[in-house]
Amino acid sequence: MGKQDIRKLNASQIKDWLVQNGEQGFRAKQVHEWLWKKSALSFEQMTNLSLPTRELLNTHFEIRPLTVDQQQRSNDGTIKSSFKLYDGNLVEGVLIPALRTDDLDRMTACVSSQVGCSLTCKFCATGYMDRKRNLDAAEIYDQVVAIDRQAKENYDAPLTNIVYMGMGEPLLNYKNVLESVDRITSADGLGMSPKRITVSTAGIAKMIRQLGDDAVKFNLALSLHAANDTKRDQIMPINESNTLDVLGDALTYFYRKTGTRITFEYILFYNFNDTLQDAQELWKFTKRVPAKINIIEYNPIAEANFTNTDPQTLDRFAGFLESKGVTVNVRRSRGKDIDAACGQLAGKK
């Protein structure tokens, strides 16, 4: 049967097991702290436990940390890591340091939630992979810990932000994603503010409503990329079962439950979704909820033939939205030279 992964147990379950095996119940709090606050990767590191207790734990349990398989550094300072999981599967995570001189302390981790993806978005490298499995909460947590270590080693600064925008659709791994957020934000975990975390979805309406019911505190981003169903169907097949009207209702519900402003992510593809008509449709859709729009630079992949719109069209598109009072940010891609930019993660070796 093999050893049980101790990080799949909560503090209460660890306590019950320890008591049943002749240990004192308060040891569970110490073990839990080592696992989630101090990010211990072995029982030997748990030095405030007696040697017999550590040996008992090691006999029955294991910790399955991910390891850095490969690491690449971009010309712009972005660091992409290929992480190997205990079963040999690979996922990718990215450290994105700030470039702006007024925000030099900003360090962002982009983490993955699945091995591959099932959504087949036509512009995304991960969408051309099979979805092999979901990551568990500890595997997502380990990415954050590893990227935080990279930030400290390379930039002498800790992580300030986390985005669930790597490989996979986070809301199709709902339980583990929320559990990982809890481990990252709780006082007996890493203690980060949930307002520094953004979960990005391609648009799973049912689960967006569930986020509202669960009153989550983190930020929500929707990868929109077209504000009419005909165009969105072409590039994001998930839209066929989660139409814009359905998504709009779900986002309204989420905002009513949480009071959290939505971020819309929109890639401007040349001669596809970059006209003033497209901008007007986007404006009308985003009026449903308080929102901001991030216009994202397209990052080419071998599997698709899309190209970026030209600078003049981008300026005209953004200018129209701003004239309507919409908050618009134009995001320049980072790490393109190492396939670390948005939409390029594919677990390549």
The owner of tokens 């993955």 is 112
Domains defined for the chain, CATH in brackets: 4-62 (1.10.150.530), 67-338 (3.20.20.70)
Catalytic residue flag (residue 62): no
Selected catalytic residue, list 23, 139, 179, 342: 342
Annotated binding residues for [4Fe-4S] cluster, written as ranges, equal 117, 121, 124
- Catalytic residue flag (residue 110): no
Q: Give the separation between CA 337 and CA 346, rounded to whole angstroms.
A: 14
Q: What is the pLDDT of residues 262-301, one digit of tens each?
A: 999 999 999 999 999 999 999 999 999 999 999 998 877 7
Query: Which member of 55, 62, 92, 265 is catalytic?
Result: 92
Binding residues for S-adenosyl-L-methionine are: 168-169, 200, 223-225, 299
pLDDT, position 341: 47
Q: Read off the pLDDT of residues 165-194 as tens digits, 9 standing for 90 and up.
A: 999 999 999 999 999 999 999 999 999 999
Binned at pLDDT 50, 70 and 90, residue 336 comes out as: low
- Per the prediction, the chain carries an average pLDDT of 92
**Cα-based torsion angle of the residue sequence 184, 190, 192, 194 in order, rounded to the nearest 10 degrees:** 20
- Give the closest residue to 151 by CA, choosing from 111, 98, 101: 98
For residue 135, the tally of other CB atoms under 10 A from its CB is 28
**Residue stretches of the annotated binding site:** 117, 121, 124, 168-169, 200, 223-225, 299
What are the distances in angstroms from CA 104 to CA 101, 108, 122, 209, 342?
6, 11, 34, 36, 21
HSE on the CB side for 286, CA within 13 Å?
Answer: 30
| The residue type at 220 | L
Residue of 111, 100, 99 lying closest to 143 (CA atoms): 111
| Burial per residue of 241-262, b for 16 or more beta-carbon CB atoms within 10 angstroms, e otherwise | ebebeebbebbbbbbeebebeb
Per residue in 10-52, pLDDT tens?
999 999 999 999 999 999 999 999 999 999 999 999 999 999 9
Q: Facing residues of 83 across strands?
A: 68, 91
